[in-house]
Homo-oligomer: A and B are copies of this chain.
Amino acid sequence: MIERTTIASLDKFEDQKVTVCGWVEKIRDQKTVQFIVLRDETGSAQLVREKVDRDPVCELISALPAESVVSVEGVVKLDPRVKLGGLELKVEAIDVLSKAETLPINEETSLDKRLDWRFIDLRSRRNRLIFEVQTELERSYRKTWESEGFIEIHSPKLMAAASESGAELFRVDYFDTSAYLAQSPQFYKQMAMAAGFNKVFEIGPVFRANPSFTSRHDTEFTSVDVEISWIDSHEDVMNFEQHLLTEMLGHISETFQDEIFSTFGVDVVVPKLPFPRIKLSDAIDLVERSGHKVERTDGDLDPEGERRIAEFVQREFGHQFVFLTDYPATVRPYYHMRHPENHTLTKSFDLVWKGLEITTGAQREHRYDILVAQAEEKGLELAPLQFYLDFFRFGMPPHGGFGMGLTRVLMILLGLKNVREVTFLYRGPNRLSP
């Protein structure tokens, strides 16, 4: 590796000669002295060079474009008057490793144009923090899965048929036939239950051919999926999910609380257990009594309803999360199990965090005959589903699970409004590049 001292550790090298490497954030080229602010992945520091006529180092600095990548040799001087970390580096030599052109974006640039130049946009400490938090968030999930003996699966993204409704499906030219991109690992994580894997998780891409341009939609995103066998009901699935999220938020609070607050102005609140649970029908009553007429006629809640129920839960229980349970079968897929005492209701739930839905989960119907009947009741053609229905013909344990959008959780955690900001490279109907 290039022998370099990271900027965060410069204070340990007082009066010593070191090499620092990074991006030129700013240059102030004054009459008698030149300053460079240099940035690496650990922070920024001020470099200084006394200005002397015809000094090749000074001339190089004068001509150096911002955001060029340089390697700089110099001596560390601690100086409490320097605002940036209380030290500066007296420059002795500079090597330009990669000269930058004039930047196409600045802090005023619109989000869409910043996405055109995402690699420059991601250089800010603010944006890098998003992905440090994401890395830590996934790490925390994995610790919970590890301690509970989960197996990780990588399910295929190329399928012969639709995994869900058949709408919003991307078609792929597949040799002499067509394949489709998986909209979720739903069928395959259930297959792992048929295989006796007991508890599985997957973090991977899913694809939705959704032509909408809202701040919450994208055509490709990272999904966090969990499936568990030997459950009694969807209550067990909710119990596991609230555990997973509480562990994660505790961990993020410990590691990033202060920086998230100073950067994004949001508190990371570690939720109390259990999360409040409200039947969907009760939630709709509550919302309507609060003066909002739910506009959907299919029995589901609308986004304004989700916001109001979240307000109610915050007020009554002091909680940011609420499980809405027992959705009507009309708004749920055929494979959600129904309540034995009321076949119009499913053993399913959504999880709402700060007014936004982050999860759909359920106990799945594991009895072949009932599953087939429910598919027929929905008017589905069975032939394309047969490969999935087959999973239930040779011994399937009771099971359930949930899917959770990684970027959506990250967006809410950081108080951001647009999924594009928390996605490494956003994909939408008009965006496939860079």
A interface with B by C-beta (< 8 Å): 1-2, 4, 21-24, 39-41, 67-69, 97-101, 103, 117-120, 122-123, 128, 131-132, 134-135, 138-139, 142, 146, 150-161, 170-175, 177, 179, 181, 187-188, 191-192, 194-198, 204-205, 207, 209, 211, 219-220, 222, 230-232, 236, 366-368, 387-388, 390-398, 406, 424-425, 427, 429, 432-434
Contacts and interface: CB of A to CB of B under 8 A. Distances in A.
Given A158-B207, A196-B41, A397 B98 contact: yes
Interface centre among A128, A232, A433 (most CB of B within 10 A): A433
Given A158-B219, A205-B205, A427-B158, A196 B23 contact: yes
Pairs A-B, 10 closest by C-beta atoms? A122-B195, A160-B432, A41-B198, A119-B194, A387-B434, A100-B395, A69-B395, A67-B395, A160-B433, A135-B152
A171 B159 CA distance: 14
A197 B273 CA distance: 36
B155 A103 contact: no
Nearest to A152: B135
A434 B194 CA distance: 13
A173 B175 contact: no
24 contacts: A2-B232, A2-B398, A21-B230, A24-B395, A40-B196, A41-B196, A97-B366, A98-B395, A99-B395, A100-B394, A120-B394, A122-B196, A128-B197, A134-B152, A135-B150, A135-B151, A139-B146, A154-B222, A154-B406, A156-B427, A159-B432, A159-B433, A161-B433, A192-B424
Nearest to A145: B135
Nearest to A154: B222
A188 B146 contact: no
Contacts of A179: 170, 432
Contacts of A1: 230-232, 236
Contacts of A142: 139, 142
